[in-house]
Amino acid sequence: MNVLELHNLRKSFGSELVLSEISLAVPEHTATVLIGASGSGKSTLLRCINLLDSIDDGQIILDGQEISDPKIDVDVVRRKLGMVFQAFNLFPHKTVLENITLAPIKVHGLSRDEAHHAALELLKRFDLADKADQYPDRLSGGQQQRVAIIRSLAVKPRLLLLDEVTSALDPVLVNEVLSVVRDLKQDGITMVLATHEMGFATQVADEVCFLENGLIIERGSADQVIHNPTMTQTQDFLRRVHEAGRL
C-alpha cells in the first residue's frame, strides 16, 4: 500500500515555476530519496507534502485521503507527518525534553508522564539521554539534528520528511545523523528525504529521483540513477558532485 502518492504536482512562486508534473508513489516501509542541485525544487516538494506551502495543481494523497483538498484540516494532516529541517529549527527556549514532548502533550493528548517516558526511551536509544535537560544551544550541530529527528519521531508519524538534514553540519558530524536515519530505515519507517550525500542515498534509497528545475528528470533504484544514469542532466550533476569530492 502506498503511504503517499503525488499526482502531477505543480507549484510556482510568482512567475517562477518551481515544481512541475511531479508524480510519486511511496509504498509503506520504503525510502524515496530526492537528489538534485540547490534550487531544483527538493525542499519545496517536501514543504508542499507537509502543506507548509500550497500547490497550484495536482493531488497529494496520504493514506488514501486527498490532503490537497482545501477543506482539509491541516493540523490533523500534520499529525501524521514528521518533518526534519536543514537548520534543525529546535525551539531555543525549551529543553531537549520539552522540545520532544511539546507535540505529544499538546497535540496528541498524552499525559506528561507518558510523553516524558517515551521521549526518554528515544533519547536513550540514540545516546542522548544525558542531554534531556539541556537547552539546544549547549548541543553540537549533530546532537541538535538528532534531537530534531527524535522530536519528529515522538508523534509516531506515518511518513517522515527529511530536508537535507546534514547540509548545515560539520563533515565530522554528518555520520552520526545519517546513522540515525539508517536505523529508522531499518525500523521500517516510511520516508521521503532530500540529500546531497550520494553514498548515504545509495544505502537507504528504495527509489531515487533526480530533480532539475522542478522536474523529475530520472528515477529508479540507486544503482540505476546514481551509478548508471542515462540522462545527460543526471550525469552532469553527478560529475559535479564527484568533482566536489562528495561521491
Partner 1 sequence: MSTTDSPVHQQVDRAVAWSPSQREQERTLIRRAITRRRILVSTISSLTVLAAVTAVILKSPGWTVVKTTFFDLHYGISVAHLVTRGLITNIELTIIASIAIGIFSLLLALARTSRSAALTPLRFLATAYVDIFRGIPLILVILLVGFGVPALQLQGITSNVFVLGTTAIVLTYSAYVAEVLRSGILSIHPSQRAAARSLGLSHHQTMRHVVLPQAVRRVVPPLLNDFISLLKDTGLVSILGVVDAVRAGQIESSRTFNYTPYVVAAVLFLIITIPLTRYTDYVLMKSINRQNAQGSA
Contacts of 61 (CB under 8 A, 6+ apart): 2, 4, 5, 6, 7, 67, 68
Contact stretch for partner 1 (CB under 8 A) within 64-72, 151-159, 188-196, 232-240: 151-159
Assess 188 for contact with partner 1 (CB under 8 A): no
Question: What is the footprint of partner 1 within residues 11-50 (CB under 8 A)?
Answer: 47, 50
Burial of 149: CB neighbours in 10 Å, binned 0-12, 13-18, 19+ = buried
Of the candidates 89, 87, 9, 15, the residue with the CA atom closest to the CA atom of residue 53: 9
Separation CA 155–CA 175 (nearest Å): 24
Residue 80 phi/psi, 5-degree rounding, is -95, -5
Assess 149 for contact with partner 1 (CB under 8 A): no
Furthest-apart CA atoms within the chain: distance in Å = 55
- With CB under 8 A as the contact rule, the residue among 91, 228, 239, 242 that binds partner 1 is 91
Yes or no: say if 147 and 96 are a contact pair by the CB < 8 Å rule. yes
Contact stretch for partner 1 (CB under 8 A) within 54-62, 73-81, 110-118, 178-186: 73-81
Separation CA 200–CA 206 (nearest Å): 12
Nearest approach, Cβ of 151 to partner 1 (angstroms)?
A: 7
- With CB under 8 A as the contact rule, the residue among 35, 67, 83, 115 that binds partner 1 is 83
- With CB under 8 A as the contact rule, the residue among 82, 142, 214, 229 that binds partner 1 is 82
Assess 93 for contact with partner 1 (CB under 8 A): yes
Assess 151 for contact with partner 1 (CB under 8 A): yes
**Contact footprint for partner 1 (CB under 8 A):** 47, 50, 52, 74-76, 78-79, 81-83, 85, 87, 89-93, 102-103, 106-108, 137, 151-152, 155
